[in-house]
């Protein structure tokens, strides 16, 4: 079949439309054909509608193909499943999630044996299998007949044990932090508050029920989606507000000042924390759309920095190859070298609590100190929804730019993913088309808010001139 597109984050679609039990069985059969009978597959799910039922359907197809299955008990964060795949030596994992997408979506993400995003060769193989399959090709056996092939497992404890080797719980306990946690009705609702409480934090928990409608919002921890978290941090005089998305692979943070800190700012904070407070070393990896403050920090610390295309799969491959300290992207995903090569919002939140405890002052204040050392920056992303062929026209216009853009001298052009210009004042602009929507994303970074506003004005004028 050719309808289902299986990408790095697997397959996502609208439930009842394309995401049906029949199609779930087909996709699982394609994965089973890729895996073969080489080892155990872990199956997990988030808090979405019918999540357990979809997971059971997949498990029945896997055991129908003679593949041993371990099914996670209850809803589970994607990074916890990825951690278990890696630490248990499984052949792979199937995670039923649409991550931060709206409630009507669901999805299947395949996590290979290395515990990170599937690379292009793997997804191409699965897509090729899908293209030739029909419903008659699906092998399926009821769970009740899967004796010896099916085990139900609890994954939270082994993840918690692993995280305790990375995070100084004693330092957090001594600080007596009060933290408001917003899991956005998703899979971070049990493990994140538990770990913070075990680290001695006073935790105020909101939006922790299982709600497949996510309170009527998309479970994405952006500033616009976290008004309740901002309010409660202020009302409770909390040190931090921490949020995770639907499957807890992304994070959001509100400082004690009530300020939302962007993923770019969090990456800067955590790089400084890992080097200065924990004494760790290693390479720094960021995507082409992520802040260049990391470049200046890496130079300041004498670390090597790598720039990749957008998507954590590219960061993952570098984490698998070498000594990476931290890797991250502006969309809210990060991980560290000693952990797993997959985005982990739970770990990000715990590292932020550790940083707040060790420094004893607000994250905003710490960020100001870092900017005083390496220089500051302000960044944003513009999503340009363009009709008809305007998307292609904009990209063609960007490719034709040489020497200068909107009167700004271009020092360097980078074509690793979209078109990126580095200007003489160290500001930059990235023009990158969406692969799935009629829009172009324009990423901008300037030395401060005033410089950023100038870049935004120039970017909008560039688009309007088409």
**pLDDT, tens digit (0-9, with 9 covering 90-100), for 134-147:** 999 999 999 989 88
d(CA 190, CA 443): 35
Exposed e or buried b for every residue in 142-168, given b needs 16+ CB within 10 A? ebeebeebbeebebbeebeebbeeebb
| Same domain as 247, residue 111 | no
Nearest to 262 by CA among 323, 270, 69, 436: 270
The pLDDT of 296-309, averaged and rounded, is: 98
- Supply the range of the domain harboring residue 320: 175-374
Confidence bin at 212 (pLDDT 50/70/90): very high
- H/E segment holding residue 79: helix 78-88
Count of domains observed in the chain: 3
Q: What is the pLDDT of residue 436?
A: 63
Query: Is the dihedral angle over the CA atoms 187, 191, 193, 196 positive or is it negative?
Result: negative
Same domain, 122 and 248: no
How far is Cα 18 from Cα 154, in angstroms, rounded to an integer?
31
pLDDT at residue 466, rounded to an integer: 84
DSSP letter for each residue of 421-458: EEETTS-EEEEEE-SSSSEEEEEEEESSHHHHHHHHHH
The answer to whether residues 246 and 302 belong to one domain is: yes
Same domain, 192 and 113: no
pLDDT higher than 80, residue 250: yes
The CATH number of whichever domain residue 42 belongs to comes to 3.40.120.10
Claim to verify: residue 254 and residue 323 sit in the same structural domain: yes
Q: Return the closest-CA partner of residue 242 out of 215, 204, 268.
A: 204
Name the domain boundary from 121, 155, 189: 155
Say yes or no: 96 and 23 in one domain. Answer: yes
CB 106 within 8 A of CB 51: yes
pLDDT in tens, 141-182: 999 898 899 999 999 999 999 999 999 999 999 999 999 999
The secondary structure of residue 259, as a DSSP letter, is P
pLDDT tens profile 81-95: 999 999 999 999 999
More confident residue, 146 or 343: 343
Closest CA to 210 of 350, 51, 317, 57: 51
Could you read off the pLDDT of 383-421 as tens digits, one per residue?
A: 999 887 899 999 999 999 999 999 999 999 999 999 999
pLDDT of res. 155: 98
366 and 382 part of one domain: no
What is the per-residue pLDDT across 222-244, written as a single tens digit (0 to 9) for each? 999 999 999 999 999 999 999 99
**Claim to verify: residue 393 and residue 251 sit in the same structural domain:** no
414 and 278 part of one domain: no
CATH number of the domain enclosing 418: 3.30.310.50
| Sign of the dihedral through C-alpha 341, 379, 219, 267 | positive
433 pLDDT higher than 80: yes
């Amino acid at each position: 079949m050719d309808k289902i597109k299986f990408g790095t984050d697997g397959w996502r679609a609208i439930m009842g439309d394309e995401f049906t039990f029949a199609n779930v069985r087909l996709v699982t059969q394609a994965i089973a054909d890729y895996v073969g009978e080489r080892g155990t597959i872990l199956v997990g799910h988030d808090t979405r509608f019918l999540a357990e039922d979809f997971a059971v359907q997949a498990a029945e197809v896997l055991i129908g193909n003679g593949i041993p299955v371990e099914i996670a008990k209850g809803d589970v964060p994607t990074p916890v499943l990825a951690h278990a795949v890696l630490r248990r030596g499984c052949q792979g994992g199937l995670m039923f999630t649409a991550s931060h997408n709206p409630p009507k979506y669901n999805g299947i993400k395949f996590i290979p044996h290395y515990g990170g995003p599937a690379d292009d060769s793997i997804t191409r193989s699965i897509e090729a299998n899908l293209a030739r399959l029909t419903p008659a090709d699906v092998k399926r056996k009821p769970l009740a007949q899967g004796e010896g092939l099916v085990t139900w497992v609890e994954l939270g404890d082994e993840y918690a044990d692993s995280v305790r080797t990375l995070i100084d719980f004693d330092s957090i306990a001594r600080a007596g932090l009060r933290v408001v946690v917003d899991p956005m009705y998703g899979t971070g609702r049990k493990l994140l508050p538990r770990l913070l409480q075990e680290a001695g934090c006073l935790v105020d928990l909101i939006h922790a029920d299982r709600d497949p409608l996510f309170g009527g919002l998309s479970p994405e921890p952006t500033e616009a989606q976290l008004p309740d978290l901002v309010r409660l941090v202020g009302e409770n005089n909390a040190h931090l507000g921490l949020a995770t998305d639907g499957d807890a692979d992304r994070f959001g943070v509100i400082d004690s000042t009530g300020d939302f800190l962007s993923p770019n700012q969090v990456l800067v904070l955590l790089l400084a924390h890992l080097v200065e407070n924990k004494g760790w070393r290693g390479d720094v990896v960021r995507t082409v759309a992520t802040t260049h403050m990391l470049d200046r920090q890496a130079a300041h610390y004498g670390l090597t920095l790598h720039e990749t295309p957008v998507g954590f799969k590219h960061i993952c491959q570098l984490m698998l190859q070498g000594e990476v300290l931290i890797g991250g992207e502006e969309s809210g995903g990060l991980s560290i070298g000693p952990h797993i090569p997959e985005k982990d919002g739970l770990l990000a939140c715990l590292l932020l609590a550790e940083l707040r405890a060790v420094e004893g002052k607000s994250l905003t204040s710490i960020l100001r100190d870092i900017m005083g050392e390496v220089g500051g920056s302000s960044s944003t992303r513009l999503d340009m929804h363009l009709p008809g062929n305007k998307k292609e026209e904009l990209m063609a216009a960007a490719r034709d730019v040489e020497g200068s853009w909107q009167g700004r001298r271009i020092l360097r052009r980078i074509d690793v993913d979209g078109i990126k210009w580095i200007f003489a004042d160290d500001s930059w602009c990235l023009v990158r088309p969406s692969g799935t929507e009629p829009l172009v994303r324009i990423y901008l970074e300037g030395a401060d808010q005033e410089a950023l506003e100038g870049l935004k004005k120039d970017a909008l004028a560039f688009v309007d001139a088409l």
